[in-house]
Amino acid sequence: MAKLVTIFGGSGFVGRQVAQQMARDGWRVRVAVRRPDEALFTRAYGVVGQVVPILCNIRDEASVRAALSGADAAVNCVNILHPQGKSNFTTVFETGAQIVARLSAEMGVARLVHLSGLGIDPESKSRYVAAKSRGEAAVLAARPDVVVLRPSVIFGPDDRFYNRIAAMTRRGPFMPLLAGRVKMQPVYVEDVALAAAKAARGEAAPGIHELGGPDVLTMRQISEQVLRSVDRKKVLLPVPKGIARIGATMLDMLQFLSGGLFTNNILSRDQLLLLTRDNVVSGRYPGFAELGIQPVSAEAVIDSYLWPFRPGGQFHAANQSARNLRGQS
């Protein structure tokens, strides 16, 4: 019988790419999510019965134990950007991650892959970073043979990085620029998924792996990259950190006062802290080279999914050609 992998958060941005990769490799895939009815699309990643979404809440030991039953490998891709109800940074990144690691060891799951992030620092002022750091430490303590993947900011269809920047190009002649000198090393979601799949198959050494794309870019360069991709001309307007902090604080306050009816998906104080610090590999740990993966650059991919933000969307090229023909007549 084919081997079985349990992917926690397997319907999310990274998780669904891991699920597809493992299914292509011939594994049976168990997609462990809180709302399996919303993850039914993952069943199409393999033949009938190969990919199965199941109910699981990583904060609940019983459901994690059921999700891990009979598994040969497990991948924890669970991630949240905003606290929602009982799912906050502490319960998801620390408690949940520790439960998955501890139970996978107790139940004899051969391999565990844990998705973390670059810039891990338990003393960080960012609650997101600090919780991820403490969670990673708990996972390493419970499961010393774990493979920890620390990617930089991840790009790809449906990402919340390039798509969000592209959305800002639609408004007026100016485009706000936060932390223009901060450096990022964008990494393609399919490259991260391939690294996770290799680790689940036992093709990666235990320990920490830092994953960064081939290009180190400043936020200004990334904004200019997006403008070229969507074929728009804007004046980049630097936003002082103090002004950005006031705006983020007001949005966070609005979310709090609304009792969660309004979710701050624009810019939180925590996200602002993430955007104002470099996010590049340190060179102290192995990365894509040691995994035998040649990472893809953002320049080679973003045109394939940022086209809706071009003037005219999918008809942009045709409209441009028509205008050129009219100009020649």
The predicted model gives 267-296 an average pLDDT of: 91
Residue 90: name the closest of 134, 58, 60 by CA: 134
> Strand 111-115 to strand 147-151: parallel, antiparallel, or no bridges (unpaired)?
parallel
Q: Which two tokens stand for residue 277?
A: 């610090």
Mapped to the 3 state alphabet, what secondary structure does the chain carry? CCCEEEEECCCCCCHHHHHHHHHHCCCEEEEEECCHHHCHHHHHHCCCCCEEEEECCCCCHHHHHHHHCCCCEEEECCCCCCCECCECHHHHHHHHHHHHHHHHHHCCCCEEEEECCCCCCCCCCCHHHHHHHHHHHHHHHHCCCCEEEEECCEECCCCCCHHHHHHHCCCCCEEEECCCCCEECCEEHHHHHHHHHHHHCCCCCCEEEEECCCCCEEHHHHHHHHHHHHCCCCEEEECCHHHHHHHHHHHHHHHHHCCCCCCCCCCCHHHHHHHCCCECCCCCCCCHHHHCCCCCCHHHCCHHHHHHHCCCHHHHHHHHHHHHHHHHC
Cα dihedral 133, 137, 143, 146 in deg (nearest 10): 40
> Strand 4-8 to strand 73-76: parallel, antiparallel, or no bridges (unpaired)?
parallel
R_g over Cα of the chain: 21
Q: How do residues 267-278 score in pLDDT, each as one tens digit? A: 788 888 888 889
pLDDT at 270: 83
Residues 6 or more apart whose Cβ sits within 8 Å of residue 250? none
The predicted model gives 259-265 an average pLDDT of: 73
Residue 161: name the closest of 253, 249, 274 by CA: 274
Rounded alpha-carbon distances, angstroms, from residue 176 to 171, 207, 269, 299: 10, 39, 17, 21
Residue 155: name the closest of 212, 91, 71 by CA: 212
pLDDT at 36 > cutoff 70: yes
pLDDT at 317: 64
User: Is the Cβ–Cβ distance between 214 and 189 less than 8 Å?
Assistant: no
pLDDT at 313: 74
For the chain, give every domain's residue range: 4-156+187-212+280-295
pLDDT at 319: 66
Q: What's the CA angle centered on 80, arms 149 and 195, to 5 degrees? A: 20
The predicted model gives 49-72 an average pLDDT of: 97
Q: How far apart are CA 3 and CA 233, in angstroms?
A: 51
User: Is the Cβ–Cβ distance between 279 and 119 less than 8 Å?
Assistant: yes
pLDDT at 329: 55
pLDDT at 327: 61
Q: How do residues 213-258 score in pLDDT, each as one tens digit? A: 999 999 999 999 999 999 999 999 999 988 988 888 888 888 878 8
User: Is the Cβ–Cβ distance between 311 and 319 less than 8 Å?
Assistant: yes
pLDDT at 25 > cutoff 70: yes
Protein fold of 4-156+187-212+280-295 = Rossmann fold (3.40.50)
Q: Tokens 């441009």 map to which residue?
A: 320
Q: Report the percent of the chain where pLDDT is more than 70.
A: 95
Q: Provide the residue type at 319 as one letter.
A: N
Query: In angstroms, how far is CA 98 from the centroid of its own chain?
Result: 20
Q: How far apart are CA 202 and CA 192, in angstroms?
A: 16
Task: Give the highest mean pLDDT range of 142-156, 165-179, 312-326.
Answer: 142-156
